[in-house]
Amino acid sequence: MAIRPTTLRQLYIAELPRLYAFVYDMFGARNEALRFLSEVTKQANAHAAEILEAPVPADAILGFVARSLERELGRRAEQTFQILDNVLRSEITRPIDIHAPGIDGDPSRIHVLLWELKRTCLTAVMGCLPPSVRLSFILTDILGYSPADAADLLEIKESAYRVRLTRARKRIEDYLTPRCFHVDRQNPCNCEGRLGIALDAKFVTPPPHDLDTPKEPHDHEPPRRDMASLYRGLPRVVLSEGQTADVLGLVTT
Residue-wise pLDDT tens digits, 44-70: 999 999 999 999 999 999 999 999 999
Q: Are 93 and 146 in contact (CB under 8 A)?
A: no
- Tens of pLDDT, residue by residue over 65-110, are 999 999 999 889 989 999 999 998 888 888 999 999 889 999 999 9
**Superfamily of the domain at 8-248:** PhyR, sigma-like (SL) domain (1.20.140.160)
Long-range contacts of 55-59, Cβ-Cβ distance < 8 Å, separation of 24 or more: 57/4, 57/5, 57/11, 58/11, 58/14, 58/15, 58/18, 59/149, 59/153
Q: Which neighbouring-strand residues pair with 180?
A: 189
What is the overall mean pLDDT for the chain? 95
What's the confidence (pLDDT) of residue 16?
A: 98
- Tens of pLDDT, residue by residue over 162-190, are 999 999 999 999 999 999 999 999 999 99
102: left (phi over 0), alpha (psi -120 to 50) or beta: left
HSE-CB for 96 with a 13 A CA cutoff: 18
Contacts of 175 (CB under 8 A, 6+ apart): 81, 125, 128
